[in-house]
Amino acid sequence: MGRYLNMGNAGFAAMTRGTYIDKTGLIAFVNSILGTTDKLICVSRPRRFGKSYSAKMLCAYYDRSCDSAALFADYQIARDRSFKTYLNQYHVIYLDITLFISKTSNIKNVVKEINDAVVEEVANTYPQVKRDAALAEMLFNVVEATGNKFIMIIDEWDALFREAKEDARLQREYIDLLRGLFKSSWTDLIFDAAYMTGILPIKKYGTQSAVSDFREYNMLDPEPLEEYVGFTEQEVRALCADSELSFEEVQKWYDGYLLGNGIHVYNPKSVMDALMRKRTGNYWTRTETYESLKIYIDLDEDGLKETIIQMLGGARVKIDVNMFQNDMTTIHSKDDVLTLLVHLGYLAYDIKTNTVFIPNEEVKEEFVRTVAAGKHKEVAKLIRNSDFLLQNTLNMDEEAVAAAIEAAHTAGTSPVFYNNEQALRSVIRFAYITCVDEFLRIDELPSGHGYADVVFFPKKNSAMPLILIELKWDKTEKGAIGQIKRKDYPQAVKEYGGDILLVGINYDSKSHKHTCKIEEYQK
């Protein structure tokens, strides 16, 4: 077992000893492109979305130094006709770029260290083959001598561009290494496939174009690999069936990434953490992507503040993703920031409507924290005011609630968007944004006689009452309460069993005033 060459199947074996969601269908896809002009693959997705799991799985399957037949026997790939054809048939080189960066004493030397470490191991494995100082030439010599081609897997290939984003010389050196491997007349002679993972897509222009021969699958264009980006809805349902958490609760917290052909994808790490801890919550690890979120939101490009307010209220925002340069430094517009946040996992993208939105409660909490700690003092104030709004609602202080919603409406909606019923619904969602700590929000809950506009369900073991909100436009707040009772909306939540507050809110489009009526529901 080597460090970089033929690492064996221990990594994948460890994964399967726990709760493993079968993603081996990806192997069949890679098998289908072996040795073709599509054999160079770059898969980019956010942190905590299982990139390294896929890389280790591919290593275990192709590595000729081990026998992985029994390891894969119970999984999807074993039923594919290509399974036995390529099982453990290749020399596999696995490079974890973040590991090299973490081990180096000076990041300026990391490219040379990558080259020299792999050359050393390959040369020791094939002492009879002529040694060469350049990795590409060393691998060519091995193939020429043995007739056995390689598969190369590079995990977090773009880590160097993120860690040393200002060091142009080091980036050029890294690109020269990749160019020698993947953009030369030797590439087809050395490799039957290369599989790279990263967070960002390959940069469109500049030095990174040296790896432009790779076919990309990312958060904007994942087809046909959507189901391998994260957990699918079917997979999460199966996990929840064997847990104490309901699928509906997990869905509210971690669903929302809408990919390709309408496939909903969940953050794998967050789902598994929630099931292990037996409670939903924010398991979004603090990494460089969190700092990036804060930095880029603080730029406030093209009125980003107002866009964030609308998205926190549940709105979708139309963007143009085509101008983004696929890096963290070339940011020229609000659309660049929003596209970057899609790749980092903080926003979801709907390819059918070209819109972005905050996907779920976990990410929404992260936005709330980031904005509150950043430079957007007006938005931070609105978020803090949301805490007071909830307390005033619980205290049934109708005037205070109306005033708080009016303040949120004025601050969060542009004049063009102000006189619009959807704007009121959006502002209500935003005004109560900090409710995510204690409640699950459901919009337009079917009641049998209509739809309750907004319902806040207390989370399990919460002492909070259920809050049922009905909205009116140019009518009355009393009429809103009357509709709740007349159409018996509380019947839709009869299984709740706890206290229920009925909240009616009306907006007068002429006076721009909000009024509120709050009652306790009498069962």
Give the start-to-end residue ranges of the domains of the chain.
10-218, 228-277, 291-373, 377-520
Residue 520 DSSP SS3: strand
Strand pairing category for 439-446 and 355-357? unpaired
| 242-246 mean pLDDT | 88
Looking at the predicted structure, is the pLDDT value of residue 40 above 80?
A: yes
299 confidence band (pLDDT: 50, 70, 90): low
**Topology given in CATH for the domain delimited by 377-520:** Trna Endonuclease; Chain: A, domain 1 (3.40.1350)
- Give the whole-angstrom CA distance, residue 319 versus residue 335: 6
Predicted local distance difference test score (pLDDT) of residue 210: 57
Regarding beta strands 466-473 and 451-458, do their DSSP bridges make them parallel or antiparallel, or are they unpaired? antiparallel
Q: How confident is the model at residue 67 (pLDDT cuts 50, 70, 90)?
A: very high
Number of H helices, E strands in the chain: 23, 16
CB 24 within 8 A of CB 72: yes
Give the pLDDT score at 152. Answer: 97
Q: What angle do CA 218, 18, 58 make, to 5 degrees?
A: 40
pLDDT of residue 412: 55
| pLDDT number for residue 64 | 93
Nearest CA to 347 among 380, 374, 329, 324? Answer: 324
| pLDDT tops 80 at residue 125 | yes
Residue 151 structure tokens: 């598969």
Residue 21 reports pLDDT greater than 80:
yes
> Looking at residues 270-292, what average pLDDT do you find?
75
Token code pair at residue 296: 């880029």
Question: Which region among 14-28, 134-148, 248-262, 501-515 has the lowest average model confidence (pLDDT)?
Answer: 248-262
The answer to whether the CB of 505 falls within 8 A of the CB of 428 is yes
DSSP 202: P
Average pLDDT of the residues in 265-275: 91
> Which residues are bridge partners to 515 per DSSP?
506
Examine the pLDDT at 29 and tell me if it is beyond 80: yes
What mean pLDDT do residues 164-171 have? Answer: 85
Query: What is the chain's alpha carbon radius of gyration, rounded to the nearest angstrom?
Result: 27
Q: What CATH architecture does domain 10-218 belong to?
A: 3-Layer(aba) Sandwich (3.40)
Distance of CA 499 to CAs 337, 452, 493, Å? 43, 17, 11
pLDDT of 4 strictly over 90: yes
Predicted confidence (pLDDT) per residue in 383-397, tens digit: 677 878 888 999 999
Alpha-carbon distance 468 to 455, whole Å?
5
pLDDT at 347: 92
What count of other Cβ atoms lies within 10 Å of the Cβ of residue 205?
11
461-510, pLDDT tens digit by residue?
778 899 999 999 899 999 999 998 888 888 877 777 788 999 999 998 88
Cα separation, 149 vs 130, whole angstroms: 16
- Tell me which of 448 and 240 has the higher pLDDT: 240
**Exposure pattern of 455-490 as b/e (b: 16+ CB <10 Å)?**
bbbbbeeeebbbbbbbbbeeeebeebbbbbeebebb
pLDDT at 128 over 80: yes
Cα separation, 512 vs 415, whole angstroms = 11
Instruction: List strands edge to edge, sheet with 263-266.
Output: 231-232, 263-266, 257-259
Residues 6+ apart with CB under 8 A from 373: 294, 380
Instruction: Grade residue 281 by pLDDT with cuts at 50, 70 and 90.
Output: confident
pLDDT at 497: 75
User: Which residue shows structure tokens 């704007």?
Assistant: 423
The pLDDT of residue 26 is: 96
CB burial string 30-66: b at 16+ within 10 A, e below: bbebbeeeebbbbbbbbbbbbbebbbbbbbbbbbebb
> What confidence tier does 415 reach under pLDDT thresholds 50, 70, 90?
very low
Q: Report which of residues 241 and 300 the model is more confident about.
A: 241
- DSSP-H helix ranges across 376-438: 377-394, 398-412, 415-418, 421-431
Q: Is 414 a residue whose pLDDT tops 50?
A: no
The answer to whether residue 298 scores a pLDDT higher than 90 is no
Torsion, Cα 257 258 259 263, to 10 degrees, reads: 110
Q: Is the pLDDT of residue 72 over 80?
A: yes
Beta-sheet strands, E only, within 33-90: 40-44
> Per-residue pLDDT tens for 321-356?
887 776 666 777 888 888 888 988 889 999 889 999
Report the chain's mean pLDDT, rounded to a whole number: 85
Q: How many Cβ atoms sit within 10 Å of the Cβ of residue 27?
A: 25
pLDDT of residue 416: 42
